[in-house]
Amino acid sequence: MILAGEGPERSALERRAARFGDRVRFVGGRPHAELARLMAAADILVHPSEREGLANVWLEALASGTPVVISDAGGAREIVDRPEAGRVVPRDPGAIAGAVKAILADPPAQADVRRTAERFSWEKNRREQYDYLSGLVRDYPSRPRLSADAHCG
């Protein structure tokens, strides 16, 4: 197992993982280009966030052909909306381990995993944001306005 990244829990995690010897490696913060290589070589990306929006790391893993096991936070269900993308689970060690075992027992094809990320792109995101904000601006004049005499109170 390779754990990439830094955080306040690293020392505690290293102490807990010491019993597994060299089966668990902490590689710290890595350059982005190296992370892409690590993700493509991984069987599964496990990312049990406590809070999250729509994490780029989820999409990067899927685009690399690596399914994800992620906690039910933020946009998790928008990303993992089909079995080949991975699993959304409670932030619980047993649930995470069960999802990892299930994927390892019947891994999806990398090409199928990659296809789950194709619906996300910077261009699509830009277009959707533009359309949404344009609609707000377009509809703004039709909204009721407070008169100059109105006051809150």
Q: Where are the domains of the chain?
A: 31-140
Identify which has the larger pLDDT, 95 or 136: 95
Given this model, what pLDDT does residue 14 score?
94
Report pLDDT digits (tens) over 118-129.
Answer: 888 778 778 888
In the beta sheet, which residues pair with residue 47?
Answer: 70
pLDDT surpasses 60 at 152:
no
Q: Distance between CA 30 and CA 116 in Å, rounded? A: 25
Fold that domain 31-140 belongs to in CATH: Rossmann fold (3.40.50)
Given this model, what pLDDT does residue 139 score?
77
